[in-house]
Structure 1
Amino acid sequence: MSQSNPYAPTAETMSADPFTTVPQSTELATLGERFLGALIDGVIQLVLIIPFSFGIGFAFAAAVGVEGVETYQYAIEAAGALVGVAIFLALNGYLLASKGKTIGKVVMKTTIVHRDTEQLLPFWPLIGKRYAWLWACSLIPIVGGVIPLIDALLIFRSNRACLHDDIAKTKVIKDQILA
């Protein structure tokens, strides 16, 4: 006589992987939801990055003198960019890795998923394909302001995908509301 283990997980429990399972909704997030999510993320980033940026500038000025700051302008900008990336990852890294969300997407109840499979993407490919190339482009004089603008304006297409969505093969969907 075989007894079943009362502590064994059920098949239903075993099939639910919290790191790859996403809401069953396939409804795209609205332009407003995406805009407000990005705005929330941007404001949080700015509040934290501005003090660090001033600190980096003051540290370089103290180290090389006010006259030397112009000589090290690109190093100061690169240091600022690295701090910005570190702050972004500190704020959003866990959420992106585990839920496909940034803080703004949590507030707006939206999720980043793979365009075809509708599953969450692995963390580093998501960061590399969706964010890193934009961060790198922003460091290029003149082009650094144009490419992010083009990226954002492409959201007005029928599929509501920005350039970073096309490159990463992602889409942003509404979270399913459980009744």
Structure 2
Amino acid sequence: MSVSAEDRFAPPVAHVADVAGPDTGEVLAGRGMRLLAVLIDGAIQATALKVLSLIPAIAAIQGNANDASFLAWTPGAMLLGLALFFAIQTWPLLSRGQTLGKMICRLRIVRSDGGKPDALRLLGLRYALGSLTAVNLGLAFLFGLVDSLLIFRDSRKCLHDTIADTKVIKL
């Protein structure tokens, strides 16, 4: 094959296209419904934390008794909140791929290929990893901001979805 003098330094040409995944017929959850599900989960969590903070021993674990806010950040409050989340949400997540808020909104978490995610992927990569950023306020803010804004991609995947290789679908 003969190459002309002008084409000798031209970059190679290749056709690049996205590889389509398996067509499972699933419909991605809408951004508004995902937000509603998170707000419901947050309300459940806040209510449970408020009720638990009425117990003196739990209030001591949460931190400063002089602080009127039960949402004040302390290491004890962070660990209590994470433990409470896992106590409330582990069973529905592992058995159905749904938090309580997602059940109410009729949404489900699945793998990118449509399969059922395992416990490490759901609890570890999707939830615990992001929660660990709470040890540093700046890191938590940055992670939360990027995580939230990425839902506006065409794939509607937040950062935690990308990390865990999951997606949220409508039922």
| Shared fold per TM-score greater than 0.5 | yes
What is the TM-score of this pair, normalised by structure 1? Answer: 0.70
Query: What residue number does 1:27 align with?
Result: 27
Question: How big is each residue's C-alpha offset from its partner over 1:117-140, in whole Å with a ceiling of 9 and x where there is no partner?
Answer: x11111133111101111100221
Q: Which of 156, 159, 165 is 1:163 aligned to? A: 159
Query: What residue number does 1:47 align with?
Result: 47
User: What amino acid does structure 2 have at the position aligned with 1:30?
Assistant: G
Question: Greater shift after overlay, 48-57 or 145-154?
Answer: 48-57
Query: What residue number does 1:97 align with?
Result: 94
SS at match of 1:29: coil
Structure-1 separation of matches of 2:29 and 2:64: 45
Shift of 1:167: 0.1
Task: From the two aligned structures, give the one with the greater helix fraction.
Answer: 1
User: What amino acid does structure 1 have at the position aligned with 2:78?
Assistant: A
Question: How much is the aligned-residue C-alpha RMSD, in angstroms?
Answer: 2.3
User: What is the correspondence of 1:30-109 to structure 2 with a 5 Å cutoff?
Assistant: 30-52=30-52, 56=58, 58=60, 77-109=74-106
Given that residues 154 and 162 in structure 1 are in contact (C-alpha distance below 8 angstroms), is that contact kept between their aligned partners in structure 2? yes
- Structure 2 segments unaligned to the other structure (5+ residues): 1-23, 68-72
User: What amino acid does structure 2 have at the position aligned with 1:44?
Assistant: I
What is the TM-score of this pair, normalised by structure 2? Answer: 0.73
Given that residues 112 and 172 in structure 1 are in contact (C-alpha distance below 8 angstroms), is that contact kept between their aligned partners in structure 2? yes
Given that residues 151 and 163 in structure 1 are in contact (C-alpha distance below 8 angstroms), is that contact kept between their aligned partners in structure 2? yes
Structure-1 separation of matches of 2:76 and 2:86: 15
Which of the two has higher C-alpha Rg? 2
Shift of 1:141: 2.8
**Percent identity of the aligned residues?**
37
Question: How big is each residue's C-alpha offset from its partner over 1:25-47, in whole Å with a ceiling of 9 and x where there is no partner?
Answer: 51000111101111100111111
Query: What residue number does 2:109 align with?
Result: 112
